[in-house]
Amino acid sequence: MATKYSEGVLAVKYRVKNEDGSFSGGPMYALEHGLKNKPLAVLFAVFTAVAALGIGSSIQANSLTASVHETFHFPKAYIAVVVFILAAAVILGGLKSIARVCDALVPFMAVFYVSSCLYILIQGYDTLLDTLVTILTTAFTGQAATGGFIGSTIMMAARSGVARGLFSNESGLGSAPIAAAAAQTRNPVRQGLVSSTGTFWDTVVICALTGLVLVNTGVWQSGASGAAMSRLAFEHIPRFGGIFLCVALVTFTFSTIIGWSYYAEKATEYLFGRKAVFFYRLIYLATVYLGCLLSMDLVWNLGDVFNGLMALPNLVALLFLSGVVVAETKKYLWSGNLDADAQEEIKKSGP
């Protein structure tokens, strides 16, 4: 959350205003204007444009297709066409179209998924305490190991946890501040605080509930993995459990597809100018379609690699611009001793 806060502050601090009145920002602008390091900024933009084809499009499309296919048994080829058409309709409509769809999907999917998880946990309330004890007592033991010694087990678990945690909430990845820079606020600290709440809801609430459900229902010992394990857990909702999970996954993945298209477009715009964005959209949509049909093992591994490559220049910016984050925080949160000009600037920035 602290990382996400810092990213939001720097995104607004170093963003630039476009001719149409909108804003562009993110780590590439913080690296260029804050650290005066254009090569590192270019590298981040390149990594973002490439990573989006994995984490943003193909992986999400594959997960969406697999869920719909296994729930309703529709042919994957048909699903791919529908996903492609819907994604194209939103993405080709630009930022306003993306924002409208996300504004509608995100609150719905959050409430829907949390409610479903709570229902399952209420059903198994009598074993909930045992579930918490199991999680806490086995977190740093070799109980779940299939081989090797305890140190390697913990190391592998930590590696997987960090990779999936980064995949989940994007804190430190550098993608979220690209969207934060577009916010209609002049107060970077305000946006930083808003950004930090994303990590809380995404990981501390959503992912924690998922983990509790998987352990409390016992499916973590079923031998299944990934979406199949979640599906077994949601079968504890009578008759409609599989459908509920499918709806949740479809809204999660589709909103991620269109959200990441915006991140990648901004990276492309930074590298090649606005005219190149349309051509990137076509490439992005092609990977959405292919992602619905292809095996994803290789793409998952490449996604992890490029996520790491994105994070490196972003973390450099966060580290060396930490003094700026501190100064902005003092300016906007502890303003009692500021002069009249500074006070007026804070008032103009909004609540």
* Kind plus residue range of the DSSP H or E element containing 309: helix 297-320
DSSP string, 40-71: HHHHHHHHHHHHIIIIIIIHHHHHHHHHHHHH
| pLDDT tens-digit readout, 305-342 | 877 888 899 999 999 999 999 999 988 877 555 545 55
pLDDT confidence of 146, banded at 50, 70, 90? very low
Asked whether residue 147 carries a pLDDT value surpassing 50, the answer given is: no
pLDDT confidence of 280, banded at 50, 70, 90? very high
Region for residue 334 given its phi and psi (left: phi exceeds 0; alpha: psi -120 to 50; beta: otherwise)? beta
Question: Can you tell me the distance from the alpha carbon of 233 to that of 226, in angstroms, rounded to the nearest whole number?
Answer: 11
Asked whether residue 77 carries a pLDDT value surpassing 70, the answer given is: yes
Closest CA to 177 of 14, 307, 346, 47: 14
Q: What is the DSSP letter of 16?
A: E
Structural domains in the chain (count):
1
Question: Can you tell me the distance from the alpha carbon of 124 to that of 128, in angstroms, rounded to the nearest whole number?
Answer: 6
Q: Provide the domain limits for residue 325.
A: 2-348
Of 96 and 3, more confident = 3
| pLDDT tens-digit readout, 102-133 | 888 888 888 889 999 999 999 999 999 999 99
* Kind plus residue range of the DSSP H or E element containing 17: strand 16-17
Question: What's the whole-number average pLDDT of the chain?
Answer: 86
Asked whether residue 195 carries a pLDDT value surpassing 90, the answer given is: yes
- Asked if 44 and 314 touch (Cβ cutoff 8 Å), the reply is yes
Asked whether residue 344 carries a pLDDT value surpassing 80, the answer given is: no
The pLDDT of residue 242: 87
For residue 320, the one-letter residue type is: F
Closest CA to 83 of 109, 62, 103, 98: 62
Asked whether residue 148 carries a pLDDT value surpassing 50, the answer given is: no
Beta strands in 23-175 (DSSP E): 23-24
Closest CA to 174 of 304, 45, 325: 45
The CATH number covering residue 330 comes to 1.20.1740
The pLDDT of residue 142: 56
| pLDDT tens-digit readout, 205-232 | 998 999 999 999 999 888 887 777 888 9
Over the Cα atoms of the chain, what is R_g?
21
The pLDDT of residue 30: 96
Tokens of 226: 């990934």
pLDDT over 70 for what percent of the chain? 91
The three-class DSSP label of residue 227 is helix
Question: Can you tell me the distance from the alpha carbon of 174 to that of 305, in angstroms, rounded to the nearest whole number?
Answer: 14
Question: Can you tell me the distance from the alpha carbon of 310 to that of 124, in angstroms, rounded to the nearest whole number?
Answer: 41
The three-class DSSP label of residue 214 is helix
Pairing of strands 16-17, 23-24: antiparallel
The pLDDT of residue 294: 83
Query: Tokens 């959503």 correspond to what residue?
Result: 206
